[in-house]
């Protein structure tokens, strides 16, 4: 019978609405109205900062959740974009600081991040599992020490200070509310792009090579090439986040891209969950809240213990992170996220 | 039954779909496949029989490039593909199935077949979602019907039954105008009914598509092949028509062990 051939796949409008869903619409409204109730501190230190870390973790989620490639070098990629902003834009460290306008600097920074990420991908794409983790950790560590010792390009230990977010449309974009909306806008674009592309040919192929790279080769796909291109896209997202991060901090130094930060990205992604692109943002919010307030609960000497215990609890209770917990409460959502699309 | 091979439409230089010249694969000291020579005409259907460990699957792996051969030459429609990576061989029209299903557990049945069609087509890196009228999606729908998986088109592959996974395994190999297919024990673990369906699917393949099939079940193997090659200890040791092989006393002794199952 031809019946099944004619089974209408949902029209594009339906698919779009189905993708967005009522939950995400409510979330978007809440995020848009958040500045009405939030103090400046909660706008930037919690809101903006969580969105930035969420984006870096999103770039890891893309690689690990869809592609099965756990890279610990995503913070290195983001940091590199931050360094580019300091080098090609303005800083008050009297090293480099070409003073180019932001609309030149930002594309350069993001593109450099993409290329750097692709290079890391090219180095690690032929490895699997724990070896990918080791190689990317080695790259992240090497880069950390390199930036610390190299003064010609990265100005060594002190790095760069006095980096300002741009002024345009009569707005200074590091003011709390503009900065929050800037982070939100960029994060939403990155999130939507990942969500959409997960069901594109590229995204489907990525998930397929995660499940079975050998079969993907036997279907005519160049698996290594596919992985490297994925790293490139992940680098663009991490690079965008890196630009925002350096505007947020106003400075960048080797400390920003240290091993601790690299592990932080992994913790955020694992706590949030890597089945769906919302997970990294969820994880970032929780981790940023903990890092901000744990110190008030248990004191300065024990706050890392609290974060560690929370991480352990999540991993034990739900290997899929907070998303997995939510999925247990809402079997429907679990199903949806499993299918990674309607 | 042996059908005259339709070689006329092909130039004489590439009349053979597959030519193996001294193909050898060693794993350390173990010679899994030892200097195998084989010529298979376009459209020919060949069964490869042999006990476990005879080197049949290793031979397939050498042909598709899953493991490169350590010596020998492989020509596919006249072209030397010995050193080509697997995906390049696939793009030239070679396909294979696996003895142990190699599928994409996290995708739906239709998406898996769609990828198989897209893999040998253009836009493998497209960031656009495939539309329902996409040419590869339409191909995927046709294959879905050919292997009777239309009822589970949107089911996650990980949740399929063994029989359904075996059908999907074949579906993936049929995607995108194959010229020659290697079937590695497609009937493994199938019920008698499913075996009948399998034979029907194989016999319904367009005549220009040749294949090699590894199969332990002689009821399947001898009914879907024109010619049979026997392997033992990594070597070819006998070739013949299905009738000759079935009645060969040496084959009966070594391979059939006196009685046929099924």
Which of A5, A200, A220 shows the shortest C-beta gap to B129? A200
A221 touches chain B (CB under 8 A): yes
Instruction: Give how far Cα A262 sits from Cα of A107, A188, A254, A255, Å.
Output: 24, 23, 12, 11
Which of A4, A10, A118, A220 to probe the B interface (max B CBs under 10 A)? Answer: A220
Question: Count of CB atoms within 10 A of residue A14's CB?
Answer: 12
Residue A216's alpha-carbon distances to A124, A296, B66, B236, in angstroms, are 18, 51, 11, 30
Among B96, B103, B124, whose Cβ lies nearest the Cβ of A212?
B103
At residue A171, the pLDDT reads: 83
Looking at the DSSP bridge assignments, the partners of residue B96 are B182
Residues A201, B118: C-beta atoms closer than 8 Å: yes
Classify residue A9: in a domain, yes or no: no
Task: Give the model confidence (pLDDT) of B237-252 as tens digits.
Answer: 889 998 888 888 877 7
DSSP E strands in chain B: the ranges are: 16-27, 30-41, 45-49, 71-76, 79-80, 94-96, 180-184, 210-214, 227-232, 235-240
Cβ proximity of A262 and A140 under 8 Å: yes
Q: How far is CA A66 from the centre of its chain?
A: 14
Q: How is residue B225 written in tokens? A: 């092949």
pLDDT of residue A332: 53
What is residue A257's DSSP assignment? G
A339 reaches B (C-beta below 8 A):
yes
Helix (H, G, I), strand (E, B) or coil at B16: strand
Tell me the nearest-neighbour CA distance from B37 into chain A, angstroms: 23
Is residue A23 a part of any domain in this protein?
no
Q: Chain B interface, mutation test: which of A215, A234, A334, most B Cβ atoms within 10 Å?
A: A215
Spatial separation of the C-alpha atoms in residues A258 and A26, rounded to whole Å: 37
Q: Which residue of A201, A234, A236, A335 is the best one to mutate when testing the B interface, meaning the one whose CB has the most B CBs within 10 A?
A: A201
Find, in chain B, the residue whose alpha carbon is nearest to that of A222: B87
Closest residue of B to A201, CA-based?
B126
The phi and psi torsions of B93 (rounded to 5 degrees) equal 110, 0
Nearest Cα of chain A lies from the Cα of B260 at a distance, in angstroms, of: 33
Any domain includes A239? yes
In a domain, A11, yes or no: no
Count the helix, strand and coil residues of chain A and give each as a percent rounded to the nearest 5: 75, 0, 25
**Among the ranges given (A161-175, A200-214, A271-285), the one the predictor scored with the smallest mean pLDDT:** A161-175
- The pLDDT of residue A326 is 76
Angle of helix A49-61 relative to helix A223-249, nearest 10 degrees? 170
Look at B87 and A339 and tell me if their CB atoms are within 8 Å: no
B35 neighbors B72 (Cβ within 8 angstroms): yes
Task: Tell me the per-residue pLDDT of A77-103, one tens digit each, with 9 for 90 and over.
Answer: 999 999 999 999 888 888 888 878 889
At residue B104, the pLDDT reads 94
Tell me the shortest Cα–Cα distance from A222 to chain B, in angstroms.
6
The range of the structural domain enclosing residue A142 comes to 39-339
Does the CB of A236 have a partner CB in chain B at under 8 Å?
no
Nearest to A204 among B86, B90, B111 (CB): B111
In terms of Cα–Cα distance, which of A230, A206, A209 is closest to B86?
A209
What pLDDT is stored for residue A127 in this prediction? 87
Which phi and psi (to 5°) does residue B180 adopt? -155, 135
Cβ <8 Å between A205 and B124: yes
Residues in chain A: 342
Q: Which CATH architecture has domain B8-93+178-262?
A: 3-Layer(aba) Sandwich (3.40)
- Contact yes or no for B231/B50 (Cβ under 8 A): yes
Q: Write down the pLDDT at residue A95.
A: 83
Least confident of A8-12, A137-141, A232-236, B84-88: A8-12
* pTM for the full predicted model: 0.88
A29 touches chain B (CB under 8 A): no
Buried b / exposed e over B73-94, threshold 16 CB at 10 Å, is ebbbbeeebbebebbebbbbbb
pLDDT beyond 70 at A10: no
Count of all residues that appear for chain B in the document: 262
Whose structure tokens read 């390199």?
A146
DSSP state letter for B13: G
Verify whether the Cβ–Cβ distance A219 to B90 is below 8 Å.
Answer: yes
Q: Where are the domains positioned within chain B?
A: 8-93+178-262, 104-177
pLDDT band at A9 (very low <50, low <70, confident <90, very high): very low
Q: Distance of alpha carbon A18 from its chain centroid, rounded?
A: 24
What whole-number distance in Å separates Cα of residue B117 and Cα of residue A157?
Answer: 53
Question: Which ranges of A89-175 does DSSP label H, i.e. alpha helix?
Answer: 102-124, 129-149
Confidence of residue A2 (pLDDT cuts 50, 70, 90): very low
Residues in chain B predicted with pLDDT less than 50, given as ranges, are: 1-13, 258-262
Q: Could you tell me if A73 and A258 are in contact, meaning their C-beta atoms sit under 8 angstroms apart?
A: no
Closest of B69, B169, B156 to residue A214, by C-alpha: B169
Q: What is the pLDDT of residue B257?
A: 59
Paired residues of B27 in beta bridges: B30
DSSP three-state, residue A204 = helix
pLDDT in tens, A254-295: 999 999 999 999 999 999 988 899 999 999 999 998 888 887
3-state class of B30 per DSSP? strand
Question: CB count, 10 Å around CB of B179?
Answer: 17
Q: Mean pLDDT over all residues of chain A?
A: 86
Looking at chain B, which residue has its C-alpha nearest residue A66? B106
Q: Tell me if A220 and B130 make a contact (CB, 8 A cut-off).
A: no
A229 close contact with B: CB closer than 8 A: yes
Nearest one of A101, A87, A88, A89 to A155, comparing CA atoms? A87
Mean pLDDT (whole number) for A301-308: 80
A211 chain-B contacts, CB cut-off 8 A: 103-107
C-beta atoms surrounding B7 within 10 Å: 16
CB B118 within 8 A of CB B205: no
Asked whether residue A244 is domain-assigned, the answer is: yes
With the C-alpha atoms ordered A318, A323, A325, A330, is the resulting torsion angle positive or negative? negative
- Whether residues A201 and B130 touch (CB distance < 8 A) is answered with yes
**A338 CB near a chain B CB, below 8 Å?**
yes
From chain A, the residues in CB contact with B106 under 8 A are 207-208, 210-211, 338, 340
Q: What is the CATH number of the domain that holds A184?
A: 1.10.3470
CA distance B113 to chain A (A): 10
Number of domains in chain A: 1
Nearest CA-CA distance, residue A42 and chain B, Å: 36
Hey, is the C-beta of A215 within 8 angstroms of any chain B C-beta?
yes
User: Per the domain annotation, does A306 fall within a domain?
Assistant: yes
Token code pair at residue B163: 């029989």
How many interchain CB pairs under 8 A, A with B?
115
């Amino acid at each position: 019978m031809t019946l099944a051939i004619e089974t209408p796949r949902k029209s594009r409008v339906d698919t779009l609405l189905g993708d967005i869903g009522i939950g995400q619409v409510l979330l978007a409204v809440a995020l848009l109205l958040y500045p009405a109730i939030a103090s400046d501190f909660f706008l930037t230190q919690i809101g903006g900062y969580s969105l930035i870390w969420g984006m870096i973790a999103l770039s890891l989620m893309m690689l690990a959740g869809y592609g099965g490639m756990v890279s610990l070098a995503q913070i290195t990629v983001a940091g590199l974009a931050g360094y580019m902003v300091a080098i090609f834009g303005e800083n008050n460290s009297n090293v480099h600081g070409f003073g180019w306008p932001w609309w030149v600097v930002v594309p350069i920074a993001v593109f450099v991040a993409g290329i750097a990420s692709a290079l890391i991908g090219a180095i690690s794409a032929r490895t699997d599992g724990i070896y990918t983790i080791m190689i990317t950790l080695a790259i992240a560590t090497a880069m950390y020490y390199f930036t610390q010792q190299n003064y010609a390009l990265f100005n060594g230990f002190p790095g760069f200070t006095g980096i300002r977010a741009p002024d345009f449309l009569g707005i200074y974009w590091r003011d709390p509310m503009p900065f929050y909306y800037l982070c939100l806008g960029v994060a939403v674009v990155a999130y939507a792009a990942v969500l959409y592309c997960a069901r594109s040919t590229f995204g489907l192929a990525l998930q397929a090579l995660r499940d079975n790279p050998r079969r993907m080769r036997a279907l005519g796909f160049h698996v290594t090439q596919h992985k490297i291109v994925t790293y490139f896209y992940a680098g663009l997202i991490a690079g965008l986040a890196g630009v925002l991060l350096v505007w947020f901090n106003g400075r960048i130094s080797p400390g920003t891209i240290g091993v601790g930060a690299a592990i932080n990205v992994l913790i955020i992604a694992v706590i949030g969950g890597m089945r769906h692109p919302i997970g990294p943002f969820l994880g970032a919010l929780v981790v940023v809240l903990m890092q901000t307030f744990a110190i008030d609960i248990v004191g300065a000497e024990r706050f890392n213990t609290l974060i560690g215990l929370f991480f352990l609890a999540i991993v034990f209770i739900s290997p899929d992170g907070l998303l997995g917990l939510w999925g247990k409460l809402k079997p429907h959502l679990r199903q949806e996220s499993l299918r990674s699309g309607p | 039954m042996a059908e005259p091979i339709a070689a006329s439409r092909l130039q004489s230089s590439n009349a053979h779909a597959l030519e193996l010249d001294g193909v050898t694969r060693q794993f350390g000291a173990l010679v899994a496949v030892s200097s195998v020579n084989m010529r298979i005409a376009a459209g020919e259907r060949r069964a490869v029989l042999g006990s476990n460990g005879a080197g049949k699957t290793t031979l397939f792996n050498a042909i598709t490039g899953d493991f490169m051969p350590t010596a020998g030459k492989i020509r596919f429609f006249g072209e030397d593909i010995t050193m080509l990576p697997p995906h390049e061989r696939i793009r030239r029209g070679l396909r294979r199935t696996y003895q142990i299903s190699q599928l994409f557990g996290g995708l739906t049945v239709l998406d898996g077949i769609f990828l198989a069609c897209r893999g040998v087509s253009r836009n493998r890196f497209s960031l656009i979602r495939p539309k329902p009228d996409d040419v590869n999606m339409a191909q995927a729908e046709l294959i879905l019907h050919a292997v009777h998986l239309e009822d589970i088109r949107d089911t996650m592959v990980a949740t399929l039954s063994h029989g359904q996974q075996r059908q999907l395994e074949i579906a993936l190999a049929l995607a995108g105008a194959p010229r020659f297919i290697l079937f590695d024990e497609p009937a493994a673990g199938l019920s008698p009914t499913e075996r009948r369906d399998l034979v029907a699917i194989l016999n319904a393949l367009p005549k220009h598509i040749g294949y090699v099939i590894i199969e332990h079940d002689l009821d399947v193997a001898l009914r879907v092949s024109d010619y049979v090659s026997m392997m033992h200890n990594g070597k070819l040791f006998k070739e013949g028509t299905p009738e000759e092989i079935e009645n060969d006393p040496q084959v009966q002794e070594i391979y059939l062990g006196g009685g046929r199952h099924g």
